[in-house]
Amino acid sequence: MKINIYYGGRGIIDDPTLCVISQITTVLQELNVKVQQYNLYEQRNGITALPNTLKDADGVILASTVEWFGVGGYMMQFLDACWLYGDKDKIKEIYMAPVVMSTTHGEREGMMSLAAAWEMLGGLPCDGMCGYIADTTKLENSTEYSKIIEKKTENIYRTINQKMAVFPASNQAVINKVAVAKGIDLTPQESEQLSEYASDDNYVRTQKEDLQELASIFRDKMGQEDKAAGNSEEYAKILSKKFTPVPGIRSKYKVIIQDNPKLKPVIIDVDNSKCDCRVGEEDQCDVVITADEKIFEDILEGRVTFQRAFMAGSIKMKGDFKLLRSMDQLFNLMAE
């Protein structure tokens, strides 16, 4: 069984929805479910192509955060794309669970709007979850909240796995009669080229900037010397150079390169203003990070932060989550 998670928030560190879907992913994986997460803010220029990812999904989770009003623009763009380009016959077989956390108000309205939108697309809604979370740390450290998330995730799994029957919804009946979508012969890319966005100077400038950024990345790969030489000693040297003292932090980190057994783990021992980066096998570390060599090199080169890589599922960690968040403060890797 496969479940896709579409996250429509902005990806900020203190977003409670990210914490919730991280716990949901853990529970689903323990139930042998294949989970694929799509961060819409990272694919904002290709949202129109995302409905194609629904074809191999048994269920989806639409997750977003209400920061001031509604579930946000990225999620609405994705739902628009499903309406215009999605395979309606396939969507009719897909269960959807909404997950909406709020830092202000309106989480229930947001959850209901996602359920209504999915019903209008012809899909099958199932019970989701919503809540008002003013302080993300309380959500992270609360065993009671974790139990709630675990139980609701199990209910979502049970509904999708057993393909439970769902009562017909009036939204579906109305939409079949009065709002039948016109067929579009163009591809999403061709449709966008002919849309109003093509004449929007800001939109065109953003596209050019994205292309220039991609071109710069490929030039770095092909023509410049790689900063990380591909061995643990070089990794330790880079971290030592980029260390920025943060008062009050005393912890030991261990980074394991899981796809290259020849590389020994990197040990990062931080004691307030001191940092000892070395190579070797050591136990009793506060945080153990596991990453592929390519991902770790991207972090060292400043292309992605430790926090962003963890939220995207690119790295795994054991230990205190707060200490992982401090890694981006201790090592100023994003600086030029």
Name the DSSP class of 53.
Answer: G
Burial class (CB in 10 A: 0-12, 13-18, 19+), 278: middle
- Tens of pLDDT, residue by residue over 156-202, are 999 999 999 888 777 666 666 655 555 555 555 555 555 555 556 67
Residue 226's pLDDT is what?
A: 43
- Tens of pLDDT, residue by residue over 70-90, are 999 999 999 999 999 899 899
Strands 59-66 and 34-39: unpaired
Mean pLDDT (the chain, rounded): 85
Question: CB neighbours (10 Å) of residue 160?
Answer: 24
Say how many Å lie between the first and final Cα of the chain, rounded.
Answer: 43
Strands 315-319 and 34-39: unpaired
Residue 229's pLDDT is what?
A: 42
Two tokens at 82? 């499903």
| CATH domain 2-178 topology | Rossmann fold (3.40.50)
- Tens of pLDDT, residue by residue over 49-59, are 999 999 999 99
Residue 153's pLDDT is what?
A: 96
- Tens of pLDDT, residue by residue over 27-45, are 999 999 999 999 999 998 8
Two tokens at 193? 């080229």
| Full strand arrangement of the beta sheet holding 315-319 | 274-279, 266-271, 250-257, 287-291, 315-319
Element (H, E) at 34: strand 34-39
Cβ-Cβ contacts under 8 Å for 28 (sequence gap 6 or more): 3, 35, 153, 157
Residue 29's pLDDT is what?
A: 96
The residue among 61 and 172 whose pLDDT is bigger is: 61
Distance in angstroms (rounded) separating the CA atoms of residues 109 and 115: 10
CB 134 within 8 A of CB 105: no
CB 122 within 8 A of CB 172: yes
**Per mean pLDDT, which of 93-97, 119-123, 200-204, 217-221 is the most reliable?**
93-97
Predicted confidence band of residue 323 (pLDDT cuts 50, 70, 90): confident
Cα maximum dimension of the chain: 69
**May I ask the CATH architecture of the domain 232-330?**
2-Layer Sandwich (3.30)
Q: Is the pLDDT of residue 23 over 80?
A: yes
DSSP, residue by residue, 296-331:
HHHHHTTSS-HHHHHHTTSEEEEE-HHHHHHHHHHB
Distance in angstroms (rounded) separating the CA atoms of residues 325 and 330: 9
Residue 219's pLDDT is what?
A: 63
Residue 186's pLDDT is what?
A: 55
The residue among 256 and 175 whose pLDDT is bigger is: 256
Mean pLDDT computed over 331-335: 73
Question: Domain residues of the chain, as ranges?
Answer: 2-178, 194-223, 232-330
**Per mean pLDDT, which of 28-32, 212-216, 234-238, 299-303 is the most reliable?**
28-32
Q: Is the pLDDT of residue 105 over 60?
A: yes
- Whether 2-178 and 232-330 share one fold: the answer is no
| CA dihedral of 65, 70, 71, 75, whole degrees rounded to 10 | -150
Q: Report the residue count for the chain.
A: 336
Name the DSSP class of 95.
Answer: E
Q: Is the pLDDT of residue 8 over 90?
A: yes
- Tens of pLDDT, residue by residue over 192-228, are 555 555 556 676 677 777 777 777 776 666 554 444 4
pTM: 0.55
Out of 126-130, 234-238, 260-264, 330-334, which region has the weakest mean confidence (pLDDT)?
Answer: 330-334
Residue 166's pLDDT is what?
A: 84
Buried b (16+ CB within 10 A) or exposed e, 316-329: ebebebebbebbbe
